[in-house]
Amino acid sequence: MSANNAYGQDGGTGGFVEPPGAVPVSDNANNLDCPPAELLSDIDRKKRAQGVCCFNLLGLVATAAFICGIYSYAYCDFIARYVTLTPEYTITGTDGTTTSDYTKACNDLGYGSDDGSDSGSNNMSTEICSSLLQDHGIGFSYWQATIPVDKEVCFTYTQLTPWGFVTPEFDSAFNASKWFSIIGYVFGGAGWFSLTCSCICRMDQNRLKGIACYFMIATLFQGLSLIMFNSNVCSEGFFKSYFVSPDQQNNQTFIDEYQSVLESVSCTLSLGSKMAISATVLWAICSVMVPFSIVPFYEDRVYQSGVQRDQQNNPDYSHDDPAVPPVDNPSNV
């Protein structure tokens, strides 16, 4: 008897396809050795329905996690960087409120003239300089500044200064955070893509369990992306290269002059890091949901594909199962 008909082992599916007229079996790891669906108890039917429902929810949770992971990396405010100027550059109003004089601070640091205007094309814009001394966002590829009037704009880290284009130095913690974030959403995206393709490509329980590994890796690395909080972006000297010329980076006098303007710098959660935390939690939920999920109707597709293939190979082949339509030619499949 042929090994490719519905009575024997099917090399295309890797399992056994039941003969015509047989009742399709239920889902399990191998889709073998299972009782017919009609012989399942009410408890087993309920468990199977719960497993299929869990599988459907798994796809939704993985989609949400993938979106959060992508957004946490793509935007320019992974963390919020709060800057406090020294009292010398603080103005107290008549009502007791305090504001910072960013224009004066930029002038003292060499940006703009004494009247607050830009001194020439070689100087960085006073607006960008003021934005660096205000609260701003820090991302993996860009930083977020607020320019008049209350408009949030993403700027590249390479900026024009009086001594040319300068890029701040990123330490190992920042670079590791960047790569951890990429690895996290790549592995998570691979698991999500596999689930998405399961609606058009056959998937068994073993393959589904393998996807849990992707989700666990995504959970680990997405969480590790938060080590940016321990990087030098949260230190007072992160943007010093914008205010101290490259040949004076080791000159403590110039560094002290720059740091005399800043009183403190602190970092807190922002939209990007909140998205990263959300993605981490959702990836972890996905890895927990996988063992409780059951791929729906996989055995029916195996059974029907085996019967339809035999009909194509043997025009005289017939079956008694009304659930599988006859196939007259390959164009009807």
Q: What is the pLDDT of residues 169-219, one digit of tens each?
A: 899 999 999 999 999 999 999 999 988 887 777 777 888 888 899 999 999
pLDDT confidence tier of residue 297, bands split at 50, 70 and 90: low
List, in order, residues 6 or more apart from 300 with CB less than 8 Å away: 24, 323
pLDDT confidence tier of residue 123, bands split at 50, 70 and 90: very low
**pTM, to two decimals:** 0.69
pLDDT number for residue 222? 95
pLDDT at 57 over 60: yes
Q: What is the mean predicted confidence (pLDDT) over 113-123?
A: 43
Query: What are the CA-CA distances from residue 179 to residues 128, 222, 224, 229 (Å)?
Result: 28, 10, 10, 15
CA distance linking residue 141 with residue 154, whole number of Å: 9
Q: What is the mean predicted confidence (pLDDT) over 208-232?
A: 93
pLDDT (tens digit per residue) in 234-283: 988 888 888 777 777 777 777 777 777 888 889 999 999 999 999 999 99
Compute the 3-state secondary structure of the chain and give helix, strand, coil in percent, each to the nearest 5: 50, 15, 35
Q: What is the mean predicted confidence (pLDDT) over 6-12?
A: 42
pLDDT number for residue 283? 95
Q: What is the CA radius of gyration of the chain?
A: 31
pLDDT number for residue 51? 84
CA distance linking residue 324 with residue 308, whole number of Å: 8
pLDDT at 155 over 50: yes
Q: What is the mean predicted confidence (pLDDT) over 276-294?
A: 93
Enumerate the β-bridge partners of residue 82: 266
Residue indicated by tokens 């068994």: 204
Element at 265 (helix H, strand E): strand 262-269
Cβ atoms of 173 and 232 within 8 Å: the answer is yes
pLDDT number for residue 201? 75
pLDDT number for residue 304? 53
pLDDT number for residue 215? 95
